[in-house]
């Protein structure tokens, strides 16, 4: 932004002109000297505006409801002159609450809060301001851009700048204990490595080894044998727990024009988060197909089944960022059709939705014919469910997920 207070330069220019016209060399010389200082101050303000760096840093990118995260606003002055007073102002969205210690410049807004203050930034100095926020509502919340304004050391010129950077804090959905019997905890086949005494899984090849007398001929690896010139056999992993494939529809009504029920919408998101959290913490592989509008993925997200802390973060982040709608609307048919083509027996499928459409029965029937165990979880007191052999129905109403 162009430095402000242009009247200072104009005043000294007029003073120089008046001194020269009136034949007052002392007035003209003094005004000319002050004009040089004003021009220097203007240049310093412009230079500070061009080089002042603003950035955000988040201590924890994702937090649970009620947990806190530190957000740092960094102001860096690379110039050899100080900025005596740097004022800043940033807005905290309604999904985050400013936690203790409450800063003195806090103002409560209708939606969110505003934090303001002032910093002293010396020459070649980097100053950081810390703001502690707590998760108040599920979602992806942005703090910033920060508005910063300052001036030259003399205070004659002023500039204003907005940070290009923003702080993003993800608040994970609420999670509840999973009702018993919703999903079986173990299966005869699956992807988690079981104990060494479990029988080997023919679909899980861990590697190859040289042939030893007594090895079954069906385990001979033809390509490795041809490449090495000696018999090579496959090493198989033992059977373990099955993967859990979650399909969640982020909608509270069959049609877009019927509006959104916030309680039902949050209930289906919390139900999916609860099931995923339980199985990922148990060490099972979990995949997620989420139909809804997610930041960066308007047609929803599809996460392959895997396990570990990184998968937990990916699943919870997708569920935290989901909003009603999306490119696929309120229909699970394309997602279920894709799963019917690629899921193999041994994977468990859990479908969570606030309603049921008859068009979903065809891909569900195909999955049943392939030997995939299916659990349909209707969320809400009035949610329907498919009446198909091989599809378990386990209702989960908001009253059942009360903490």
pLDDT at 129 (0 to 100): 92
Which is it for strands 286-291 and 244-249: parallel, antiparallel or unpaired?
parallel
Compute how many other C-beta atoms are within 10 angstroms of the C-beta atom of residue 11: 14
pLDDT at 399 (0 to 100): 53
What's the rounded mean pLDDT across residues 223-239? 78
Which CATH number is 244-401 given? 3.40.50.410
Residue 78 near residue 122 (C-beta atoms within 8 A): no
Residue 344 near residue 370 (C-beta atoms within 8 A): yes
Q: How far apart are CA 353 and CA 378, in angstroms?
A: 5
Confidence of residue 45 (pLDDT cuts 50, 70, 90): confident
Q: Where are the domains of the chain?
A: 7-49, 51-171, 244-401
Residues whose CB falls within 8 Å of the CB of residue 164, separated by 6 or more in sequence, listed in order: 54, 145
pLDDT digits (tens, 9 = 90+) for 165-216: 899 999 999 998 887 777 765 444 444 444 444 456 566 666 788 888 878 8
pLDDT digits (tens, 9 = 90+) for 368-386: 888 888 999 998 877 778 8
Find the range with the poorest average confidence among 3-7, 77-81, 219-223: 3-7
| Nearest residue to 156 via CA among 5, 48, 36 | 5
Model-wide pTM > 0.85: no
Q: How far apart are CA 211 and CA 222, in angstroms?
A: 12
What's the rounded mean pLDDT across residues 241-248? 82
pLDDT at 286 (0 to 100): 92
pLDDT digits (tens, 9 = 90+) for 16-26: 777 778 777 78
Find the range with the poorest average confidence among 184-193, 262-271, 356-365: 184-193
Fold match between 51-171 and 244-401? no
Place of tokens 């300052």: 150
Residues whose CB falls within 8 Å of the CB of residue 219, separated by 6 or more in sequence, listed in order: 233, 234, 236
The architecture in CATH of the region 51-171 reads Sandwich (2.60)
What's the rounded mean pLDDT across residues 303-323? 92
């Amino acid at each position: 932004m162009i430095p402000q207070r242009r009247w200072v330069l104009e005043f000294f220019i007029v003073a120089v002109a008046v001194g020269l016209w009136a034949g007052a060399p002392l007035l003209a010389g003094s005004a000319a000297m002050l004009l040089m200082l004003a021009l220097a101050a203007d240049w310093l303000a412009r230079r500070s505006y061009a080089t002042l760096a603003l950035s955000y840093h988040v201590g924890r990118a994702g937090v649970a409801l009620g947990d806190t995260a530190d957000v740092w606003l960094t102001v860096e002055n690379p110039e050899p002159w100080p900025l005596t007073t740097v004022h800043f102002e940033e807005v905290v969205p309604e999904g985050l609450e400013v936690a203790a210690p409450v800063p003195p410049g806090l103002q409560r807004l209708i939606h969110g809060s505003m934090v303001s203050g002032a910093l002293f930034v010396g020459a070649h100095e980097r100053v950081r301001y810390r703001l502690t926020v707590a998760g108040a509502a599920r979602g992806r919340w942005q703090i910033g851009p920060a508005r910063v304004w300052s001036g030259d050391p003399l205070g004659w010129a002023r500039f204003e700048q907005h940070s290009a950077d923003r702080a993003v804090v993800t608040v994970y959905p609420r999670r509840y204990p999973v009702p018993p019997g919703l999903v079986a905890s173990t299966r005869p086949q699956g992807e988690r490595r079981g104990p060494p005494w479990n029988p080997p899984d023919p679909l899980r090849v861990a590697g190859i080894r040289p042939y030893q007398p007594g090895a079954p001929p069906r385990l001979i690896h033809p390509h490795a044998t041809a490449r090495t010139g000696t018999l090579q056999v496959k090493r198989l992993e033992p059977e373990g727990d099955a993967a859990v494939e979650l399909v969640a529809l982020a909608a509270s009504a069959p049609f877009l024009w019927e509006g959104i029920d916030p309680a039902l919408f949050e209930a289906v998101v919390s139900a999916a988060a609860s099931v995923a959290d339980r199985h990922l913490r148990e060490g099972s592989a979990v995949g997620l197909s989420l139909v809804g509008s997610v930041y960066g993925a308007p047609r929803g997200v599809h996460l392959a089944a895997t396990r570990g802390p990184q998968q937990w973060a990916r699943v919870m982040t997708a569920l935290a960022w989901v909003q009603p709608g999306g490119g696929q609307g309120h229909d699970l048919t394309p997602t279920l059709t894709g799963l019917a083509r690629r899921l193999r027996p041994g994977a468990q499928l859990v479908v969570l939705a606030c309603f049921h459409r008859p068009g979903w029965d065809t891909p569900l029937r195909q999955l049943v014919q392939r030997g995939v165990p299916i659990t349909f979880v209707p969320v809400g007191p009035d949610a329907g469910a498919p009446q198909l052999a091989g599809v378990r129905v386990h209702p989960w109403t908001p009253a059942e997920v009360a903490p």
